[in-house]
Structure 1
Amino acid sequence: MTKYSNKKCRFVILISGRGSNMQELIKTCNSDNWPAEISAVISNNPKAAGLDWANNNYINSTYLDSSKYSNRDDFDRDLSIEIDKYSPDYILLAGFMRILGCSFVRKYYGKLINIHPSLLPAFPGLDTHGRAISSGVRIHGCTVHFVSPELDSGPIIAQGYVNVFSKDTVEILSERVLEIEHKVFPSVAHWLTLNEVILDKDDKVSILNNHNGLFYL
C-alpha cells in the first residue's frame, strides 16, 4: 500500500466546456482518496457546463470570459491572478480551448499539464480525429504533456492508444479516444500527487515506480 504524506497536492483545473476529463479526475481523486485538493475550476467560457458540475460538487469555480478581452496578454494576466489565489502545485488543462501566451507558459512551466486528443507529435491543434481518419492511420489516441510555449509540443508524460477502424466516423473515434483519456489523465494526476513525475533541467520526463506512461484501450 502506498504511504501518503500529510501534504496535499493542490490542483487548479482549467476547462472550456463540459469538462468530462475534469469530472473523471475529480471523481477518481475522491473515490481513491488521493493526497490531493482540487482548489478551483476555472473556465474561459461563462456557459461551460463543467462549471455547474463543479458547483454541484462543492468545488470553487469561476470564469473569465475570454470573449470580453481584446488581447491575449490581458486575459493571461487576469487568469494568472486568479490561479495564484490558490497557490497550486499543478494546473491541469482539461479541455481548455484557448492558447496561452509565452509569458504565461514560462511563468508556470513545469506546473502546466495538458491533455491533447492525438498521439503527439502527430496532429497538433484542432480536428485531430478527422485528420487521423483522413490520413489512414490505424492507431490514434491521446497525450498528456507538460505545456511549452510552442503549441502541443511540450515534454510527454503519458499516451493512450486506441485502434482506428475503417468504418469509424469522427464521432465514433472521438468517443473511443475520450474513453482512453479518462484512464490516462487521472493516472497522471495521481502520479503527480505522489511526486512520481520528474521533469529535469533538460526537459526530459521520468516516471518513478515502474509506470511506463503507456495505456491501451
Structure 2
Amino acid sequence: MSRPLIMIATAVVAFTIGRLTARPAINRLRAHLTDAHRQLLHDPLTGMLNRTGLHTAHQALAQTTPARPIIVALIDLDDFKHVNDTHGHDHGDHLLKAVGERITDVAALHGGIAARLAGDEYAALLPAHTDDLDRIAELFTALIAQPVTLTEGGATVTVTASVGVTLADTSDPLTDVALHRADIAMYHAKHRGRNRHATYRPGMSMPPTPHQRGHRLRDRRQPISGASA
C-alpha cells in the first residue's frame, strides 16, 4: 500500500476510534440535558408539571389556531398545615403526592394536564369538551376528599380542597386572566366554608379581605418546597 493510502487509512481509523470514544460522553451529555430539561418543567416531589411547565404547556396551546376554549381549575388544600403539624412533613409530602396523583388522573381523564404550583396549590388545564364546569369541579373535590393512608399500616387522613374553575380561551394570558379568574373563584369556595367549589362569573371579585389568606405563594413567586408550612 502506498504511503498516501496508508496515511488516509490511518486518519479514517483514528476518526472512527475518536467517534466511538466520544459516543458515551455524547450520550451522557444528552441524558444530562434531558434530565435538566425535565427538572426545569417538573415538580421534584410529585413529578407533576411545575409552574414553568404549566406555562410551557399553555404556550403550546396558545400557538394553535383558532383559539379554543379551555377549563382552568385552581385547587388549594384546606388546612394542610394541620396535617404537617400533626403527622410531620414527611407524611405531609406523602399526602401531597397522593393528592397530585388524583388531580392528574382527573385531568388525564378529560384529556388535560395538571401541575403543582406551590406548596398545597395545584392547577389543571382541560379541553372544554363540556361547559359543565361544576361537574368537573365536583369531581376534583370528591376525589381529593377520599381518605389517604399515609404509610403502610399507618395513619389515615382526610383532606379537603377548595376548587375554583373558569372558562378561558387558549389565547388568554395564563397568569393575568385564566389563573386570576380561577383564583377569585377558589377564594369564593374558601369563603363559603371550604371543601367546596366555585365557578368564575363575569364581574366576580375577591371576597371580603378578612377571609383571604394574605399573599399567596404563587403571587410571591416563591420556589416550591417539599411541603407547605
TM-score, scaled to structure 2: 0.28
Pick the structure with more helix per residue: 2
Larger RCO: Structure 1 or Structure 2 (Cα < 8 Å, ≥ 6 residues apart)?
2
What TM-score do you get using the length of structure 1 for normalisation? 0.29
Greater radius of gyration (CA): 2
* Structure (1 or 2) with the greater strand fraction: 1
